[in-house]
Amino acid sequence: MEDIEKYWSIHRPKLGDQVPLSIFRAFRHFSAGYVEDLMGEKGSITVFYNAGRTLGAEVGKRLGGNSLDEYLNKVVNFVEEQRIGILVPVSLGQDLMVFQLEECITCAGMPNIGRRICHFEAGLVAGIVEHILGRRVVAKETKCNAMGEGVCEVSVRV
């Protein structure tokens, strides 16, 4: 498991720790494109999903919480504070949880390119859910702005 602290140690006295979203998007989408060229679509999905899942586990560890409700509240606040998006738990069943991410950092406002692309975000949700449940889940992006579906949605099979 990666030690995330080394990446979160930022020393930029003049420029600070914020960047324009356009730069994040260029980094995110160009990287995904090159990984896909090298590893194919399945390989690329796995890379980004697992990276998101690792981050999700780290975030879960730091947020804590005594109940699922309290934990999810903290997650929703974290996701908005970090401006990843506005996380809306749509349904929280025993076997299936569905979350929508409004204003998704990666896809909000993109034109319809005919495919869902937020695999990092799906992994992030998986890691976050796995942390509180203490077992493995499978998350899939079931709606995406890049597919013209108007929102980013992640469904988690428990």
The site for Zn ion (CB under 5 A) is made up of 104, 106-107, 118, 152
Retrieve residue 58's tokens.
């780290």
- Angstrom CA distances, 54 to 21, 132, 145, stand at 22, 14, 24
CB closest to Zn ion, residue no? 152
Residue whose CB is less far from Zn ion, 131 or 143: 143
Identity of the residue, 45 or 104, whose beta carbon is nearer to Zn ion in the bound complex: 104
User: Among residues 55 and 104, whose Cβ is nearest to Zn ion?
Assistant: 104
Nearer to Zn ion, 110 or 132 (CB): 110
Q: How far is the CB of 60 from Zn ion (least distance, A)?
A: 20
Sheet holding 138-143, edge to edge: 86-92, 96-102, 152-157, 138-143
**How far apart are the C-alpha atoms of 34 and 5, rounded to whole Å?**
27
Structure tokens given for 20: 């324009």
Q: Minimum Å distance from CB 147 to Zn ion?
A: 10
Assigned token pair, 127: 């890691």
Closest CB to Zn ion among 65 and 102?
Answer: 102
Given a contact cutoff of 8 angstroms between Cβ atoms, the answer to whether 88 and 138 are in contact is no
> Shortest approach of Zn ion to residue 151 CB, angstroms?
8
Rounded to whole angstroms, the Cα distance separating 137 from 123 reads 10
